[in-house]
Amino acid sequence: MPTYEKLAAELEARDQFFSAVAHELRNPLNALHLTLAGLLRAQSGNAPLAPEQIVSRINRASAQVTRLAKLVDDMLDVSRISAGRFNLQVEEFDACAAIREVVERLSDPANPLPITLTTPPMLRVQCDRTRFIQIASNLLANAIAYGKQKPIELRLEAADASFRLEVIDHGIGIPETEQERIFERFAKLDSDAPSVRFGLGLWVAREVARALSGEVRVTSKLGEGSTFTLELPRRTAAKPSTPG
């Protein structure tokens, strides 16, 4: 049974997390509001924007909507996983095509970042395609956020009964003493670093991987980058997750 001190610490972490979530929601909402208001002013004034300027501002607004949707999805997954109401939809698909989709979706044409993808020609697996893409997206987004704009490598390979995705960055790295804490639900490694935020992505990634009878691990060296490894069975039995 959890001790009083542990419960108190979890409650404090939860309160800090929800405060951080409110801040995270406010930023994209403010940016979205300013972008749309600027569009309205420009189009109703005497100097309407050129088509390419309109497209640029719409793309910026779309990026903020995507950011909001991702945060909401993570919050919903926390609720589902914690309540044990996390169902899987297992299907057969090509994991290579799914990873290419992840890389294409997270690549930013306005701020290109070298992402190297190494895969076999095809890798047929039986898994939850949506959840596999979710885990891969969370790991790649984490690498982009903490990779210091350095090249990122993704490697997908298969064994007899399993397959593995490695996401390698060359960024800030993680101290050895903190490498398990990053998978906690309300973890934040450095409260004084403005670029390090509360997050759910890694916790969700590991819990979803475990629901798929797999695992997510990390190896890292401070200042030299991190390698996140997702390992899953090539044939996953459909089953709900258990609370984490």
pLDDT band at 14 (very low <50, low <70, confident <90, very high): low
36: CATH: 1.10.287.130
Q: Are residues 40 and 100 in the same domain?
A: no
CA-CA-CA-CA torsion sign (75, 155, 214, 89): positive
Where a domain ends, among 62, 83, 104?
83
Could you give phi then psi for residue 68, rounded to 5 degrees? -65, -45
Q: Are residues 124 and 174 in the same domain?
A: yes
CA-CA distance, 123 to 155, in Å (whole number)?
12
What's the pLDDT score for residue 244? 43
| Mean pLDDT, residues 20-37 | 77
| Distances 239 to 19, 90, 205 between C-alpha atoms, Å | 33, 9, 17
pLDDT at residue 51 above 90?
no
pLDDT at residue 79 above 90?
no
The count of structural domains within the chain is: 2
Q: How many C-beta neighbours within 10 Å does residue 197 have?
A: 12
Range of the domain at 182: 91-233
121: CATH: 3.30.565.10
Mean per-residue pLDDT of the chain: 82
Q: Are residues 200 and 103 in the same domain?
A: yes
SS3 6: helix
pLDDT band at 194 (very low <50, low <70, confident <90, very high): very low
Summarize the chain as % helix, strand, coil (round to 5). 50, 20, 30
CA 106 to chain centre: 10
224 belongs to a structural domain: yes
Q: Are residues 115 and 217 in the same domain?
A: yes
Q: Contact at 8 Å (CB) between 139 and 230? A: yes
130 belongs to a structural domain: yes
| Mean pLDDT, residues 67-81 | 72
Q: Which residue has the higher pLDDT, 169 or 27?
A: 169
| Mean pLDDT, residues 100-121 | 86
Reported pTM:
0.72
Q: Are residues 12 and 124 in the same domain?
A: no
244 belongs to a structural domain: no
